[in-house]
Structure 1
Amino acid sequence: MEKIRGIVFDLYGTLYDVHSVAGLCDTYHPGRGLEISTLWRQKQLEYTWLRSLMGQYVDFEQATRDALLFTSRYLTLPLDDAARMALCDAYLKIKPYPEVPEALDRLQAMHMPLAILSNGSAHSIRSVVTASGLAHRFQHLISADSAQIFKPHHSVYKLAEDQLQQDRSAILFVSSNAWDASGARHFGYPVCWINRAGNPFDELGQSPDHVVAGLDQLVHWFEERIGAG
């Protein structure tokens, strides 16, 4: 890879654990929390992709609400309006993975510009990073709202290139979502895939440039590069 002049992170499932809402789901339907959270996330992703293909964009909060309503009906686990509101609010306060705060601190200490590029709305991105106390780690919070379509459409990835004012070849894109990493690699970013679960990479004609099991490993890799340089 060429010299990296900035790092762009995906938000959901990469820096933050979407299933940190499972505990709250469990309070409404004990023992079913992770099942609810898993299907909710699956439908949330499907709805962003389908909305993009249909040319009927809605913001991420709406896709999230719609996905939760479907999940409740599909699993026949009723959630009243107050419960759905509470769960969607919890999605604005999901928790970072344990290694993330220190890893971001170490990357920032290297004077590396850090950004988030997410399908989340500007409001949802800001809410998540503020609730976790990590907003100050990022120079840019970039939302798919600006493109009015969701990743993995190329116009969303271009937002980060334009915002950082660097050629895409000099921006490392980091995601734990293989479909997202594939989209970014197809666009032309060098890509680091965070594979926490030890899964195979998606068969979409792309391969990540670097694979790590956690963000701390990415930091170690950067520190080695700097030491070698």
Structure 2
Amino acid sequence: MSFDESRVSTVTFDSYSTLVDVEAAEKALAARVDDPEPVSRLWRSRSLEYTFVGNQVDVYEPFYAVNRDALQYALDAHGVDVSEDEREEILAVYHELDVFDDVREGIERLRDAGYDTYVVSNGNPEMLESMVAHADIGDLLDGVVSAHEVEVFKPDAELYRHAAARTGTPIDEIAHVTAAWFDVFGAQHAGMQGVWVNRKDTPWEPFGDDPDLTVDGFEELVARLDGA
């Protein structure tokens, strides 16, 4: 698909892996787990699987609780025994994830170019409040939209439509920026333009449509939108 920057008035951003780096979760595991990488990988994948299944069977828990369940499964699956206090310390890393270097300047330049900017995330409000504060981007955002407001997760179209209503923007005037392939699909299915941030230079999924736009970071995103 082709990206039409002339239609964009609002830019929405996913949070985890798009604005902030979730790889810190592995570091939090490292002090407590001999081989943290497979535990971390299973934790992240199971967390997403729980949201996908929850959407289909009408089961909702706030994302922090979903993340807790997924972490417990990953620890159990790898035979790792940690105390409840240690588990909570590992989970707490999601309140202090490092922001990618290009994020603040990128959003600031988009704001200067006249775009409204929002976060649209699976994270529950408490997680997103701490993420925005830790990333120091609160002054650059017009708002934050949480899946908790409608109790469905990405890529359900209801969340994207709710985000459009919250931003006061026709849905086809929104460019949704995300590092997650399923989030690109969800945004496109709902009527937004989907922008894939491919920070790790990985191949796109062979399943489904291509993103409307692929960028390697926020600098390339700004170059495409600034002056449109």
Q: TM-score, normalised by structure 1?
A: 0.92
TM value normalised by structure 2? 0.93
1:205 aligned residue: 208
Aligned twin of 1:150: 153
Counterpart of 1:133 in structure 2 is 136
Q: Which residue of 2 aligns with 1:39?
A: 42
- Please list, as runs of the form range in 1=range in 2, the aligned pairs for 1:103-142 lying within 5 A after superposition: 103-142=106-145
What is the match of residue 220 of structure 2? 217
2:8 paired residue among 1, 4, 7: 4
* Alignment correspondent of 1:85: 88
Structure 1: distance between partners of 2:16 and 2:164: 20
> Take 1:96 and 1:204, find their aligned partners in 2: how far apart are those partners?
30
Q: Which amino acid aligns with 1:128?
A: M
Moved more, 200-209 or 45-54: 200-209
User: Shift in Å at residue 131 of structure 1?
Assistant: 1.7
Deviation at 1:197, TM superposition (A): 2.1
Counterpart secondary structure, 2:177: strand
Cα distance in structure 1, aligned partners of 2:135 and 2:11: 20
Q: Which runs of 5+ in 2 are unaligned?
A: none
Q: Does 1:168 align with 2:171?
A: yes
Query: Bigger shift: 88-97 or 150-159?
Result: 88-97
**Poorly superposed stretches of 4+, deviation over 6 Å:** none
Q: Tell me how far 1:207 sits from its aligned partner.
A: 2.0
| Separation in 2, partners of 1:33, 1:218 | 33
Indicate conservation of the 8 Å contact 1:7/1:112, yes or no. yes
What percent of counterpart residues are identical? 25
State the distance in 2 between where 1:70 and 1:18 align: 18
Q: 1:204: how far off? A: 4.3
Partner of 1:26: 30
SS of residue matched to 1:141? strand
Aligned partners of 1:179 and 1:202 also within 8 Å: no
- Structure with the bigger RCO (C-alpha within 8 Å, sep 6+) is 2
| Aligned with 1:67 (options 36, 49, 70) | 70
Corresponding residue to 1:182 among 185, 190, 194: 185
**Structure 1: gaps spanning 5 or more residues:** none
